[in-house]
Amino acid sequence: MSTLLSLHQVNIGYLSKAVLRNVTLDIASGESVAILGSNGSGKTTFLKTIAGIFPVLSGEIRFTSPDAGRPIRIGYVPQRMSMDGVLPLTVVEVVEMGTYGSLKPWQSLNVQERESVDWSLNSVDIENLRHKLYWELSGGQQQRVLIARAMVSHPDLLVLDEPLASLDRDSVRSMVALLGKLKMSTGLTLLWADHFLPALQEVVQEVLLIEGTGLVRYQAHDIWGKNEEPMIREEKGQS
């Protein structure tokens, strides 16, 4: 597999304060990699830096697009609680937000962008929810909406920040199955943060474990069993 993402001696943080230091690693196209660590260890900061939301403090991050001649496309799925204050938007309106980077403020969606919205809704199995209000959905349904929003751009790399947080057990299984299906059907690369969950082993090949201010890389089968599964809050609702 070709290299999609390379980091060379990268310091990662915010407000000039490094939380991860001298990170050097390669991630190949088509891989599924999880970054694990405790709350406040730097998982979200790492993902936001990869997604281009935070700048690197020092070092180099290099992307190689799977298709020569065009820049890499990155989809970012934030923590669901960060969308708690979202306006009373429908599902399709939230998903359409994934096209805004390519639109001028006065432009409406063209035919191709509307087709991409429809495709992304279908790809995460929420076409039937398109006219529902986002804030009325269950946690699992809201997570699918945010993934659909990120999928509108047909990303090469999908970056997800704790997509399994606060989901009940059935929703966790459903979400892991969905991510596995997307990876298989599109060939995208997955990079996601979460607390340790045995469910991850169904789709993750490698793990980046935060230890102090560094990242230690493991094959997923070597690290499974190192941590205990955290409590998963039971939450009513459809995944």
Which percentage of the chain shows pLDDT scores above 70?
87
Residue 236 has a pLDDT of 36
pLDDT of residue 232: 32
Name the residue type at position 101. Answer: G
* Segment holding 121, helix H or strand E: helix 111-123
101's CB contacts (< 8 A; 6+ apart) are 153
Q: Give, as one character, the DSSP assignment of residue 137.
A: S
Give the model confidence (pLDDT) of 114-126 as tens digits: 999 999 999 999 9
For 47-91, write each residue's pLDDT tens digit: 999 999 999 999 999 999 988 888 999 999 998 876 666 668 899
Cα gap 84→96, rounded to integer Å: 18
pLDDT tens digit sequence for 181-222: 999 999 999 999 987 667 777 889 899 999 999 999 998 878
When the pLDDT of each residue in the chain is averaged and rounded to a whole number, the result is: 87
- Quote the pLDDT of residue 163: 92
User: Which of 176, 111, 189, 177 lies closest to 150 in space, CA to CA?
Assistant: 189
Provide the residue ranges of all domains of the chain, joining segments of one domain with +.
3-86+155-223
Is the confidence at residue 106, as pLDDT, over 50?
no
Tell me the C-alpha distance between 161 and 81, whole Å.
Answer: 11
- Pair 152, 98: CB distance under 8 Å: yes
Q: What is the mean pLDDT of residues 222-239?
A: 46
- pTM for the model stands at 0.88
State the Cα–Cα distance between residues 122 and 148, nearest whole angstrom: 9
Residue 226 has pLDDT above 70, yes or no: no
Architecture of the CATH domain 3-86+155-223: 3-Layer(aba) Sandwich (3.40)
